[in-house]
Amino acid sequence: MCKESLEQRDMRSNGSLRHHESPVSSAPSQASTNERAAKELEVALAMLKKKDDTSRFVGLALLKPVLEQKLSDQDIADSGDKRAIVQRSWDAIPAKFLDGLLKAKRSDKKTMEETKEMMTLAVSVMHAFMTLLESPYEDEKFIDRVPVLMAVFVHSSPPATKAAIMGIIHRLATTRGGYLAMFDVIAEKSEPDQKPTSYLFVTMLLIDIQSTIPSLQEELHSDEYPATSDRLAKSYDIISAFLGFLVHSIDKMETDGSGPSCLFSAALPVDLIPRLRVNISETMSLTIEHLRDRFDSSTAGAAGLHPSARSASEESTSDPLLIARETSSGIYEDPLTLSQLRTLSLWLREDENEMLRKEAAGIMDVLLALYKNDDEQDFCGPVCVALQGIVEADEGVEAFLSQDGWRVLYEGLEKLVSRQEQHLHGEEIIGVLWSIIESHFAGPVKEEWMPMVALASDALAQTTTEPQLSLVTSISQLAIGLLMKARPRLQISYKNQALGLFLEAKTLLAHDDVTGATRDGLKEVMGAIKRMYP
């Protein structure tokens, strides 16, 4: 940025550029205020179109406040012109100019303070448009800037700027189209002789989590906790998106016949993989410990918590000190819990870390409690994903059965069937239960598992939609799996229910609209029943 721009900046800070020579009175009416905002917006957009960076810098500095003023005009909101004005303003900002501000470095012409101001302005404007645009995750100008934003984050930007960058990346990373495009861009633009920007960024997030959550319990009722919780939740979400991208890349490469050897080799150099895997596993181990402590303090007592996070029992000072239930920091309401759970569950399922899965078996009661208390947040899906990984270990199967996990998930299936709903976690529930009945550690099929046969028959009779039919067909296959593995006594006891399931499947197969995998699944169910009860 040249000397002239600094002089203009000083004038602006003194108020000389604040209205940019707009001839309005000091006490304008609402109409004149709106007119002034419209004129100033045009001035800002015109300056952004100029070729010199000095004019563009001033235009960008003017744009954010006058755009916000313009959009506050009720007439604009009512007419539906808001989207067009926002898009026009965003399109007016040259992408290369944003890059120049974000990449600004100290030189003979620019001091460190000046480069910091340039970078801060660029991030601030991008953060504002991230909230104003309807689909920023589809905008290449946003997605293409992510590697630069990550680099700014990594190389010691101010806390407020870091928070704004996290907000931008979090918004992109938590949409499927956004994270796929975002991490694709990062992989393409990483220099071959340097560590990928995504690696450095994710590593910083992991370090932040590792250094923060061991003492997080002490902050539960502090004024700082909401901000800390929000920051960590965003970190977990971005890490989860990164892992999701890697899983997607593996699936795609396997489809193409060139699948990678492990989770990370789709996007990272081989020499970085071991360290990152260890780093993520260490973070997930701390996450398991935190969920354990968080749950215990919310349900049984708060021994060891900072005094500010506890409230004494009214009955006796010798009673346990409990978390105050009326606060927003309960484990079920805290957004951090869901973010932790999503990331942990994906890692438990995708990374074959037997030790971590054994650790996670120790919070089986926590996971099942979250599953049952799914009123406020969508815990069901992530819990089922986590269980898919945990029950791969014998300790996981043991913990699942000892905590009455079969009944909990069975009741979840009942709800889906009764509501005629098709959720992805319905298939995930079935996947977990299949793992249980196929586990040598679980032993013979238990009689308390057998109501699955009646559920399958009733579900087939009630099904009215093709998506729901896919789920209940899977339930029927699971029921037959139970019958086939059951002892002869149980097979005889449930013969009538099995024959009822046979008839329901036969009735559905008479419909021409039952096709594909669903039709094949129902035929498989009928064939198995015929073989068991000839």
Asked whether residue 55 falls in the same domain as residue 192, the answer is: no
Answer whether residue 322 is part of any domain. no
Asked whether residue 7 falls in the same domain as residue 124, the answer is: yes
What secondary structure does DSSP assign to 36-80, as a single string?
Answer: HHHHHHHHHHHHHHSSSHHHHHHHHHHHHHHHHHHHT-HHHHHHT
Q: How many CA atoms lie within 13 A of 86 on its CB side?
A: 20
- Under the banding of pLDDT at 50, 70 and 90, the label for residue 469 is confident
pLDDT digits (tens, 9 = 90+) for 105-151: 876 677 888 888 999 999 999 999 998 888 888 899 999 999 899 98
C-beta separation of 480 from 525 below 8 A: yes
Mean pLDDT taken over the chain: 83
* Residue 311 φ/ψ, nearest 5 degrees: -130, 130
Answer whether residue 321 is part of any domain. no
pLDDT digits (tens, 9 = 90+) for 247-299: 877 776 666 665 555 666 556 777 888 888 999 999 999 999 999 999 998 87
Using the predicted structure, report yes or no on whether residue 306 has a pLDDT greater than 60: no
SS (H, E, C) 145-188: HHHHHHHHHHCCCCHHHHHHHHHHHHHHHCCHHHHHHHHHHHHH
pLDDT digits (tens, 9 = 90+) for 150-179: 989 988 678 899 999 999 999 999 888 888
Asked whether residue 16 falls in the same domain as residue 72, the answer is: yes
Whole-angstrom distance, CA of residue 438 vs CA of residue 305: 42
Asked whether residue 47 falls in the same domain as residue 139, the answer is: no
User: What is the structure's pLDDT at 258?
Assistant: 57
Give the residue-averaged pLDDT of 370-374. Answer: 87
Asked whether residue 509 falls in the same domain as residue 531, the answer is: yes
C-beta separation of 384 from 348 below 8 A: no
Answer whether residue 483 is part of any domain. yes
Whole-angstrom distance, CA of residue 150 vs CA of residue 160: 15
Asked whether residue 104 falls in the same domain as residue 216, the answer is: no
Last residue of a domain, one of 115, 133, 151: 133
User: What is the structure's pLDDT at 114?
Assistant: 86
Answer whether residue 407 is part of any domain. no
Q: Indicate the residue type of 378.
A: D
Asked whether residue 116 falls in the same domain as residue 178, the answer is: no
Using the predicted structure, report yes or no on whether residue 11 has a pLDDT greater than 90: no
Quote the Cα angle for 301-307-308, to 5°: 105
Q: Which residues pair with 322 in a beta bridge?
A: 311
SS (H, E, C) 79-148: HCCHHHHHHHHHHCCCHHHHHHHHCCCCCCCCCHHHHHHHHHHHHHHHHHHHHHCCCHHHCHHHHHHHHH
Residue 262 corresponds to which tokens in the numbers above?
């492990």
Domain that holds residue 277: 135-310+328-351
Asked whether residue 163 falls in the same domain as residue 114, the answer is: no
Asked whether residue 89 falls in the same domain as residue 120, the answer is: yes
Using the predicted structure, report yes or no on whether residue 321 has a pLDDT greater than 60: no
Asked whether residue 148 falls in the same domain as residue 281, the answer is: yes
User: What is the structure's pLDDT at 255?
Assistant: 66
Q: Which residues pair with 311 in a beta bridge?
A: 322
Number of domains in the chain: 3
Using the predicted structure, report yes or no on whether residue 312 has a pLDDT greater than 70: no
pLDDT digits (tens, 9 = 90+) for 46-57: 999 999 999 999
- As a whole-number percent, the residues of the chain with pLDDT over 70 amount to 80
pLDDT digits (tens, 9 = 90+) for 403-443: 999 999 999 999 888 876 656 688 999 999 999 999 999 98
Burial (Cβ within 10 Å: 0-12, 13-18, ≥19) of residue 319: exposed
Q: How many CA atoms lie within 13 A of 197 on its CB side?
A: 22
Q: Is the pTM of this model over 0.75?
A: yes
Answer whether residue 218 is part of any domain. yes
C-beta separation of 17 from 62 below 8 A: yes
Asked whether residue 144 falls in the same domain as residue 121, the answer is: no
Answer whether residue 323 is part of any domain. no
Last residue of a domain, one of 98, 133, 168: 133
Answer whether residue 283 is part of any domain. yes
User: What is the structure's pLDDT at 42?
Assistant: 92
pLDDT digits (tens, 9 = 90+) for 44-102: 999 999 999 999 999 999 998 888 877 776 666 556 688 888 999 999 999 999 999 99
pLDDT digits (tens, 9 = 90+) for 185-199: 778 665 666 788 888
Residue 492's contacts (CB-CB under 8 Å, 6 or more residues apart) are none
Asked whether residue 8 falls in the same domain as residue 47, the answer is: yes
Answer whether residue 398 is part of any domain. no
